[in-house]
Structure 1
């Protein structure tokens, strides 16, 4: 299971809700540190934790700009791929696939950037 600080989890033993604050090494085992409502702290084995909600940060202005830029570049790559395929005499189906390939090449790079620059998840 992969968690990030701020995820809302439930303790399976008594159904208590809390937010993940980190991971603690306890000998050879790892325990999930959970902050409970009212300021309490609890350390739970990873098997005893159920994820209720993931932490989601609001989209910043910089990320919005990058998303719009990726969309525009992806559409341009789709158009140029389609046009290049049509110029060499490809049929409509092959031209559409060439355009889709150009768009996908850009969007995959954007998705990798989101994954690398997103919140770090740790495995417990």
Structure 2
């Protein structure tokens, strides 16, 4: 589908779902995962999920497409493979902001220490 077609389809769906006759039960609304705006943050908002994750329509986080994760529970370690350069830059910015006391996303408190390992082959 081309973008104009998608927009037209979405507009049609919105108009269809909001124009329900009186007395009928409207369809359930889906929660939108909106960022919380804050001009003191790096991008000007708290993202709904960290850069290595995405989320579904219920705002539940999942690994972003193209990434994989290995968990090592005994050592409390998670390794995420396939980070984008943009995500690595966001993590570097997060760590720099934490180090010098600027407002940050709080990823360390929520996800633990973040270390980006560049390059290399982790095996087959």
Give the TM interval when normalised to the shorter protein: under 0.3
Q: Which has the higher contact order (CA 8 A, sep 6+)?
A: 1
Normalising to structure 1: TM-score of the pair?
0.20
Larger Rg: 1
Instruction: Point out the structure with the larger strand share.
Output: 1
